[in-house]
Structure 1
Amino acid sequence: MVKRAAGALLSAIRIDHDSPRLLATQIASSIREIILSGGLRAGERLPATRTLARDLGVSRTTMVEVFERLIAEGLLEARTGAGTYVSDSVRLGEDISGPPEPKTELESAPEPSVPRPAVTFGADFTVRLPHTIRAFTTALPAVDMFPVAQWTRQSNKHWRTHRDLMLGYGNVTGFPPLRHAIAAHLKANQGINCEPGQIFVTNGAQHGFHIISSMLLKPGDKVWFENPGAIGAQNAIRAAGGDLVPLPIDGDGLDVAEGLRQAPGFRLAFVTPLHQQPLGVTMSLERRFVLLNAAESADAWIIEDDYDGEFYYGTHPIPTLKSIDHADRVFYVGTFSKTLFPALRLGYILAPPPFVPVLEHLFETYLPTAPLNSQAVVAGFMDEGHFATHLRRMRRIYTERYQVLMDCASKHLPGLLTLKPTDTGLHTTGRLATGLDENAVTRAADADGITVTPFGRYAMTPLDKTGLVLGFSGVPPEDIEHGVKRLAGILETELSNQHTRPGMEP
């Protein structure tokens, strides 16, 4: 138990100076109730009588009397030279107040009435993907390779020199140096022409999706959405009232022609053009222009989710959709969860110029602000060049891990799982051999300590293809090799079980 220098805080004690009851009696009753209800645990230290007397505005003599009463009752014990503690015999009232009352009242209480949309939309939400660090969890950066020492130095520097900023509210739209750093990064690395004032810092990408959707959509508005597609974005847009229109993915990306057939009057489209989540398709240049033209014709908008486009394994990055958006139809959403680490909960929106005043008003009036200290550290990390160095290093590491995965798969998975080559992102996909069920394989892998994700987990309507998504970025090479061997054994067992089941030919 963590030692408290001055003992537990006892702010719940209330004194009625107009009561005929003695102050010592009132205080003793309050402390007794706190102990018996579990507010103070056995072995926990109480403040000194002098400290409690000052906190409660009574004489020290009164507090000495209170402690003597409770010691006599067996609730407290004095330890010479160490202070006064809750007696070890007290275990939430085991020895004093008898067994706890049954919780029949709580257990039988009716379910609360929760207003829409929590119930209506919540029932349609997809449970988020697992994030345990193991082979082959998706969407995880290499946290084992993160430059903790550099990060700590940057953090310490800001606490030493900018304490007034770190402990205040700050700019609600984002820490200005971070907005400048993000804008400079997008110009230099993504070919996006933008200004710092267009950048709005959010509590992660999903927060950004929900902000944009809530601003643009009326309940029931049609939203083109990739099928299969990003789970967090599905939930964020549903929560904002959007009616998702699942559209298939072909070799060029989102099927815009099918979108025009199903919902020509769409209001919003959500896409992951650089590395489609989860199939890994890169949207072709021709399809990008078709999508942009469709949005302009329908007076609709597009959310571009660039969740892992920083990590490419060729000589040149793939251009973003936003970089060719001359009609200002695209909201570009980025995140530091993949480039740095997920616990930051830090993302950003690059908004088209007409929406800057609207978003400024929303952020200034009620939207939550991302933690300022985290923003300041990231800004310094970027300004001093550590971010660029980190990205280059991670690209090398992910290239190595990707190659280990592909090499091991070629040795151990032929005839079981065919992996698709990729030149960007943190995961790849595999098509299962005929006769293997993606959900059965997923369950068997999980039982063996491996995470693989079936295509169907991302789907809103049935798919004409099945397979698995395998992440490699957050998995050390030796774990990738062991994971592939174990996955091969699982697939062989599942395939054998399929052949021996009733109705199947041996």
Structure 2
Amino acid sequence: MKYSGGALLSSIRLEHGADKNLNAQLYMAIRDVILSGGVKAGERLPASRTLANELGISRTTVINALDRLMAEGLLEARQGAGTYVSEAMNAERPAPGPTPQRTIADKEPRLSHTAHHFTKHFTPRNQLPTQARAFVTGLPSFDTFPMAQWSKLAAKHWRNDRNLVMGYGDPRGDPALRRAIASHVNASRGIQCDPDQIFITGGAQQAFQMIGAMLLNPGDRVWFENPGAIGAKNSLLSCGADLVPVDVDDEGISVADGLEKAPHFRMAFVTPSHQQPLSMVMSLRRRFALLQAVEEADAWVIEDDYDSEFYFGGQPLPTLKSVDTTGRVIYVGTFSKSLFPALRVGFILSPPSLVEMFERVSISSQSGIANSLQATIADFMDEGFFATHIRRMRQVYAERHEALITAARDKLDGLLDVRRTLSGLHTVGYLAEGLDEGEGARLLDEAGIAVSPFARYCLSPIDRQGFALGFGAVNPQEIGSGVARLAETLRTLQRNKSLR
């Protein structure tokens, strides 16, 4: 009986000691040969003993791989005659026709209007950071997190009833966590609210998408800080929003510029406690002007309070939510900066008028964050560990901020004007005139330094060039050495410019 031993054996390459076991490797190798037409329907495979001897593996490994292929219908066993490639392979694969001039893979997929709008205007976030280095943004300090306390609380909740640990969570959020958050924002941010107004989300970006999907129609105009937060920008674009780039000055978003560009707007997105990325704090006068404009336009405001806990510039200004008397502000918070980003837990604090709708949307479309994770965060807050951690990190970040300002003053004069900030994990540096932020960012990345050019955050170009500089993730010594490499690279950029 003719069989395909030569073709089959010559195509199989097994790697002993690889991450994928020999059983899986052999299964994939035979499967690929069959699907590619290397062995035809009706051809007999070598006996399992022959395959084992020729490949230098156990017969059990071969039998397991062949059994799996039979279960998938690619092989069939004939009583007393051996193992064959299934005859169904002929019936299921159409005969090749003439080569098409253009395949479906070559064509542009037809997208919805919203998806086309989104993909045309969104900003790629690239690889989100996972390791600390100077001057990465978006990462808190990992080395100072109280992991021992966190681990004990997490282990306690993993020992709970399996139905609770392994089942779906409440789409609105764990009641204990909602109570803990309501208590926290009342004590630390001056916001009076009921736990029923809190809705737990899979991070802040999911919160923005949920708000946009609920309140925006495609084409609705949304005031957006320019420059502004990339994740929020992409989330609102994905909902079909028409984002209006509104200028930012030393007091925050320019209400006058917003009214001139789009007096009939549906929503405004702001980061008043620590503007992303330019780092200023919105003045109280500007907050009241924004609330007045929102009320007159019958619009809504998303207040992204992403790192407000780390205010080290004296007494912080009140949140926009805390001075909102008309119920127009939707407050969004996250634990990505106050704890760590892998949690992917955020929350929406809804105005009373939207609570019922947020509840209906949550129950209808959310599956809930893991119960054990929410319970761990709730205990971490209720037992006082969260408040202690925030107080400690406020001091740590103030020290790291001061280390950056001191090193920049010593080494970056005439190259990069690094500004003080009052809160958060990042500040900004403005490049000397004539230096290009895009080229500078590329050279700095090659030197092992992470910076974020202003252009990445912009809906429309702005007059100044520079970088957002994170200081929260690395210690003062690493900040000092990072500034030295930053200065050296920018001097090279400056010399290259003068030679042109």
TM-score (norm 1): 0.80
Partner of 1:141: 140
Q: 1:262 to 1:37 in 2, by over 3 A?
A: farther
Matches of 2:107 and 2:162, distance apart in 1:
46
**Correspondent of 1:120 among 104, 117, 120:** 117
Q: Distance in 2 between matches of 1:469 and 1:422?
A: 12
Q: For residue 159 of structure 2, give the secondary structure of its aligned residue in structure 1.
A: helix
With over 3 angstroms needed to count, the CA separation of the structure-2 counterparts of 1:495 and 1:202, relative to structure 1, is same
Q: Distance in 2 between matches of 1:446 and 1:107?
A: 39
Counterpart position of 2:299: 300
> Which segment is superposed worse, 143-152 or 421-430?
143-152
Which deviates further from its counterpart, 475-484 or 313-322? 313-322
Query: Of residues 16, 19, 22 in structure 2, which corresponds to 1:43?
Result: 22
Which residue does 1:198 correspond to in 2?
A: 197
- State the secondary structure of the residue aligned to 1:161: coil
2:60 to 84, 93, 100: 84
- After TM superposition, list the pairs within 5 Å mapping 1:4-23 onto structure 2: none
Paired position in structure 2 for 1:70: 48
Deviations 1:195-219 (A, max 9, x none): 1000000010011011111111111
Amino acid of the structure 2 residue aligned with 1:109: A
Deviation of 1:464 after TM superposition, in Å, equals: 1.4
CA-CA distance at 1:411 after TM superposition: 1.2
Q: Please list, as runs of the form range in 1=range in 2, the aligned pairs for 1:464-475 lying within 5 A after superposition.
A: 464-475=463-474
State the one-letter code of the partner of 2:467: L
Q: Matches of 1:440 and 1:368 in 2, distance apart? A: 44
SS of residue in 1 equivalent to 2:106: coil
TM value normalised by structure 2: 0.81
SS in 2 for 1:85: helix
**For 1:418, what is the secondary structure of its paired residue?**
strand
Q: 1:146 offset after TM fit, Å?
A: 1.5
CA contact (8 A) 2:117 2:240 kept: no
* Pair 1:483-2:482 in alignment: yes
Match runs of 1:132-211 below 5 Å: 132-211=131-210
Aligned residue number for residue 28 of structure 1: none
Deviations 1:45-103 (A, max 9, x none): 89xxxxxxxxxxxxxxxxxxxxx952343388776xxx93359x99xxxxxx9xxxxxx
**SS at 2:60's partner residue?**
strand
In structure 2, the residue matched to 1:27 is none
| Aligned residues: CA RMSD | 3.0
**In structure 2, distance between residues paired with 1:36 and 1:370:** 43
Identify the residue that residue 317 of structure 2 maps to in structure 1. 318
Q: 1:321-332 residue pairs with structure 2 within 5 A? A: 321-332=320-331
How far is 1:120 from its partner? 3.2
> In the aligned structure 2, how far is the partner of 1:383 from the partner of 1:464?
47
| Residue identity opposite 1:274 in structure 2 | S
Q: Aligned with 2:121: secondary structure?
A: coil
**Contact 1:179/1:201 (<8 A) preserved:** yes
Residue 126 of structure 1, CA deviation: 0.1
* TM-superposed deviation, 1:111: 4.1
Tell me if structure 1 keeps the 8 A contact 2:117–2:237. no
Q: Distance in 2 between matches of 1:443 and 1:402?
A: 24
C-alpha change, 1:196 and 1:110, in structure 2 (3 Å) is: same
- Flag structure 2 segments of 5+ consecutive residues without an equivalent: 1-8, 26-45, 67-84, 86-98
Pairwise CA distance, 1:475: 1.3
Structure 1 runs (4+) deviating above 3 angstroms are: 35-38, 75-79, 104-112
Q: 1:216-295 to 2 correspondence within 5 Å?
A: 216-295=215-294
Report what 2:371 is aligned to: 372
> Does the aligned pair in 2 maintain the 1:419–1:430 contact within 8 Å?
yes
Identity %: 50
Aligned pairs (5 A) from 1:392-431: 392-431=391-430
Residue number in structure 1 paired with 2:3: none
Q: How many residues align?
A: 433
Q: Which amino acid aligns with 1:161?
A: N
Query: Relative to structure 1, is the Cα distance of residues 447 and 387 closer, same or farther in structure 2, using a 3 angstrom cutoff?
Result: same
Q: CA separation of 1:78/1:229 partners in 2, compared to 1, >3 Å: closer, same or farther?
A: closer
Equivalent residue of 1:391, what SS? helix
1:134-189 deviations in Å (ceiling 9; x for gaps) = 11011110012222111111111011234332211121100110000000000010
Shift in alpha-carbon separation, 1:500–1:36, aligned structure 2, 3 A: closer
CA contact (8 A) 2:169 2:369 kept: no
In structure 1, runs of 5+ residues without a counterpart are: 1-31, 47-67, 91-96, 98-103, 502-506
Is the CA contact (8 Å cut-off) linking 1:70 and 1:76 kept in structure 2? no
CA offsets, 1:341-382, max 9 Å, x none? Answer: 111111000000111110111111123422322211111111
Distance 1:84 1:477, change over 3 A: farther
Mapped to 2, the partners of 1:417 and 1:143 lie a distance apart of 28
> Deviation of residue 493 (structure 1)?
0.8
Partner of 1:158, secondary structure, is helix
Give the SS at the match of 2:330: strand
Query: 1:216-273 deviations in whole A, cap 9, x for unaligned?
Result: 1111111001000000011000101110010001111111111111111100000000
1:376–1:42 distance in 2 versus 1, CA, 3 Å = closer
